[in-house]
Amino acid sequence: MLRSVVLGCGAYLPEKILTNDDISKFVDTTHDWVVERSGIHQRHIAAEGELTSDLALAASKHALERAGLDAQDIDLIVLATATPDNTFPATATAVQAQLGIHHGAAFDIQAVCSGFVYALSTADNFLKCGQHKRALVIGAETFSRILDWEDRTTCVLFGDGAGAVVLEAQEGGGTLEDRGVLSAHLRSDGRHYEKLYVDGGPSRGQEVGHLRMSGREVFKHAVINIAQIMEEALEATGVEPNDIDWFVPHQANKRILDGTARRFGMTEDKVVITLDKHGNTSAASIPLALDVAFSDGRLKQNDLILLEAMGGGFTWGSVLVRW
Ligand code: UT7
């Protein structure tokens, strides 16, 4: 059977860093509150005029270089974002054009913080069925543009950034020993639409709007949904938590990550954590974390990695990958 094998990963973070202390100068918050409640110390913020597609392009070039491929080898681009350059066309097509690719297909996926697991699963299905050969899967966000910088309950949590992976369809033996995406489980429940949303949009208000979140409610559902979707991945594949080399979760809250790891008996040294430095970068958080763990030598070929995410909608999902 065909497997979607990761050939390379890359990332890009905007130069500007905003610390908790910086934010405490314009909203009523403290570094200690933000660290204690979320685990976040700082986040990167895109420069004026720096677009989601710019971040995505830089991450993509990095991933292509690591994969040892030319942009022309790519025939599918799936970009996860909730902060596109424009309402349309898809930001993926801007990246495609800037990479000089004039063939294949490029489109965006909108599943907010679950965007990367949705995009990875989508690309995996396109590759597994033989419709495309090599995919660039990107998570890229400029959440700083949709934050209400006067709302201390949300503006301290998010940051900007992008990460990307290059996938190639390769023949596998159909076992868990194969490299590549081994399972993907996606879920959503639109009854929770208004617990984490943006209060604008082309159809509703003709304005972009700002992010609104019932933090405590989201937290409660995140703990339950993440555990459920991880259990689903383990049950479907027969993998035991002990078999997992690296747990790479969406980075929303350190307390959620610690609680989830504890519940599955995973020690802290197996969890890739970046939210102290990146904040919550929505769809970009998982590929950014993959890049950090690959760059510092933790992620090695054949390692078994469990990804999970939960976000607005609600949407949530898990993907098991052998690197
Ligand atoms: O990525 C998508 C998924 N997103 C998530 O998973 C996020 C889930 N939610 C969370 O991570 C947490 O709920 C937060 C970090 C957003 C908030 O932590 P919390 O422990 O749930 O705090 P809270 O909302 O219950 O607020 C506690 C108190 C409140 O004051 P009172 O009502 O107890 O007097 C808030 O007004 O903290 C206050 N507060 C703040 N104080 C200082 C809220 N934001 C701040 C702030 N600085 N920035």
Nearest-CA residue for ligand 1 atom 39 is 153
Give the atom of ligand 1 at the shortest distance from the alpha carbon of 156. 48
Return the percentage of the chain with pLDDT > 90, whole number. 99
pLDDT digits (tens, 9 = 90+) for 62-74: 999 999 999 999 9
Q: Are 117 and 309 in contact (CB under 8 A)?
A: yes
Whether the predicted pLDDT of 80 surpasses 90: yes
Residue range 257-280: mean pLDDT, rounded: 96
Rounded-to-integer distance, Cα 29 and Cα 84, Å: 29
Whether the predicted pLDDT of 22 surpasses 90: yes
- Whether residue 252 has its Cβ less than 6 Å from ligand 1: yes
Q: Are 319 and 307 in contact (CB under 8 A)?
A: yes
- Whether residue 280 has its Cβ less than 6 Å from ligand 1: yes
Rounded-to-integer distance, Cα 7 and Cα 158, Å: 29
Rounded-to-integer distance, Cα 55 and Cα 82, Å: 14
Is the alpha carbon torsion for 107, 111, 123, 49 positive or negative?
positive
Q: Which residues are catalytic?
A: 113, 250, 280
Q: Are 39 and 80 in contact (CB under 8 A)?
A: no
Whole-number mean pLDDT of the chain?
A: 98
Rounded-to-integer distance, Cα 149 and Cα 60, Å: 29
> Which tokens belong to 132?
């495309």
Rounded-to-integer distance, Cα 132 and Cα 258, Å: 38
Which of these, 136, 157, 217, 184, lies nearest to 309 by C-alpha position?
184
Residue range 77-100: mean pLDDT, rounded: 98
- Whether residue 155 has its Cβ less than 6 Å from ligand 1: no
- Whether residue 33 has its Cβ less than 6 Å from ligand 1: yes
> Which tokens belong to 39?
């685990």
Is the alpha carbon torsion for 38, 215, 283, 6 positive or negative?
positive
Strand ranges (E), the chain: 2-12, 16-19, 42-45, 76-80, 105-109, 134-142, 160-171, 180-188, 196-198, 211-213, 246-249, 304-311, 315-322
Which helix (H) or strand (E) segment holds residue 58: the answer is helix 52-67
Residue 100: other Cβ atoms inside 10 A: 9
> Which tokens belong to 158?
């998010």
Whether the predicted pLDDT of 205 surpasses 90: no
Tell me the best of 219, 260, 282 to mutate to test the pocket of ligand 1, counting ligand atoms within 8 Å of each CB and taking the most: 219
Phi, psi dihedrals of residue 163, rounded to the nearest 5°? -145, 155
Please confirm whether the linkage preceding 143 is cis (ω < 30° from 0): no
**Domains in the chain, please, with CATH?**
2-171 (3.40.47.10), 180-322 (3.40.47.10)
Phi, psi dihedrals of residue 7, rounded to the nearest 5°? -95, -20
Distance 92 CA to ligand 1 centre (A): 33
Chain centroid to CA 32: how far? Answer: 26
Return the percentage of the chain with pLDDT > 70, whole number. 100
Residue range 67-84: mean pLDDT, rounded: 98
> Which tokens belong to 33?
């509150």
Sheet containing strand 315-322, strands side by side: 180-188, 315-322, 304-311, 246-249
Rounded-to-integer distance, Cα 141 and Cα 18, Å: 16
Nearest-CA residue for ligand 1 atom 25 is 216
Please name every residue paired with 106 in a beta bridge, in sequence order, or none if there are none.
77
